[in-house]
Structure 1
Amino acid sequence: MTDFFNQAITGLLQQSPIEHIAVGLGLAYLILIMRQNVWGWPCALISTALFTYVFWDVSLFMESLLNVYYMGMAVYGFWNWNRASADQPTLPIITWPLKTHALALGAIFILSGASGYYLTTNTTAAWPYLDSFTTWGAVITTYMVAQKVFENWLYWLVIDAVALYLYIDRGLYPTALLMAVYLILVVVGLITWARLLQQQEPPASNHA
């Protein structure tokens, strides 16, 4: 663990300003989203635009394409979270039933297997299956955040842990350090949204 933090600090001093800015805005995004602040989405838009370049440069092609998707979802999330009315000034937190989670997880594993196989046989991508898993998992989970689905925090715990390993392996130490901080903030976000969900009258649900 000490070696990781030493490498992370060294990486912070050596990596490009582009990655530093992307990391800072990514951290701002998560903190603002955790607090249900809509301005987290503009931070996400700029951060993911920068990460698109960073990941492509180190051959994490699926991660790079994922950040293109993130840019679109940042625009959608900003619009969706701004939908308000006199009776409901803030978009409520909702929950998904087990059936919906089963479909979401099934889609993640099937798509990860398919794209991982393609990357293995047709590209020089690093860690194609893990890269694909974090990509497709994040595709689903980012949509959950835009919809304010409570369980998104549980998904992020797994995705960010895998992403942390990928970034360390590829020498993206500032980004890896961001993922380590993300894992802590995800736990805080889970607890925070659980309390907010209990305070809603009545708690919202989605029976999709």
Structure 2
Amino acid sequence: MMSATEIAGFVLALVMVVCSIRELHWSWPLAIISSLLYFFVFKDSLLYGEAGLQLVFAALAFWGWWQWLRKGDDAQPALSIQRLSTRGWWLVVIASAVLWPALALLLQHFTDSDVAWWDALPTALSLVGQALLGRKYIENWLIWLVVNTISVALFAYKGLWLTCVLYVLFTLMSVWGWRAWRHSLPKQAT
């Protein structure tokens, strides 16, 4: 059964991702509100990793907002879309490999979660994806593609059908975001 909280979070989250794709800083306050709404949706569904992640997302959204609003010496945005280096990819892999089991064990031992490992995987990857988005690394969209695909199955298992639809849309929007940001890369190089 869909709640008003889930419906409001759904709408705000969709608008937030569209704003992120278009590099509009308004994505960040929308992220704060939708994350707080989804905290309650996931908590009530015993998805504690996802619930906790929403609180982290809300906090990180303040950081992302600040990152995107900063101006350089030339009064232009301090951040532009960029690519991860090989070292950056290694950091992504290591962070993901450490976060997933750490979060899974935390959920397994300190909550009544019935899907600790499956809850922890998209949670861990989401933390990495959010950090990449905040710094405007184009690869954030690839991380979100993986997160969203896994999340569709997780939310279907939990019967969160509207949220499942949201994450199917997020999966498609991840591809859209990747293409839009990739198209912006050459413009910034000239």
In structure 1, the partner of 2:148 is 160
Instruction: Give CA deviations for 1:117-172 in whole Å, capped at 9, x if unaligned.
Output: 33234432131112111111111110110110111011111111011111111011
Distance, in Å, in 2 between the alignment partners of 1:118 and 1:78 is: 29
Q: Is the contact made by 1:41 and 1:77 (CA closer than 8 Å) also made in structure 2?
A: yes
Match of 2:18 in 1: 31
Counterparts of 2:130 and 2:118, CA distance in 1: 18
Shift of 1:86: 6.2
Cα separation, 2, equivalents of 1:88 and 1:65: 36
Residues matched between the structures, number: 189
The CA distance in 2 between the partners of 1:185 and 1:111, in whole Å, is: 25
Q: Could you list the runs of 5+ residues in structure 1 that have no partner in the other structure?
A: 1-13, 203-208
Aligned counterpart, 1:84: 71
| Alignment partner, residue 117 of structure 1 | 105
Counterpart of 2:156, as a letter, is I
Contact 2:48 2:111 in 1 (8 A): no
Over 4 Å off, 4+ runs: none
Name which of 137, 142, 145 aligns with 2:130: 142
Q: What is aligned with 1:73?
A: 60
Which of 86, 104, 128 is the matching residue for 1:98?
Answer: 86
Q: Which amino acid aligns with 2:85?
A: P
- Given that 2:103 and 2:124 are in contact with CA atoms closer than 8 Å, whether structure 1 keeps it comes out as no
**Mapped partners of 1:155, 1:34: distance in 2:** 14
Amino acid at match of 2:115: W
Deviation, 1:88, is 5.3
- 111-120 or 27-36, which moves further after superposition? 111-120
Q: TM-score, normalised by structure 2?
A: 0.94
The alignment partner of 1:94 has SS state of coil
User: Share of identical aligned residues, percent?
Assistant: 28
How large is the RMSD of aligned CA atoms in angstroms?
A: 1.4
Instruction: Verify the 8 A CA contact 1:109 1:133 in the aligned structure 2.
Output: no
Query: Which structure would you say has the larger Rg?
Result: 1
1:68-127: CA deviations, max 9, x gaps? 000011111111100124635233111111222122212212221122133234432131
Give the TM-score of the pair, scaled to structure 1.
0.86
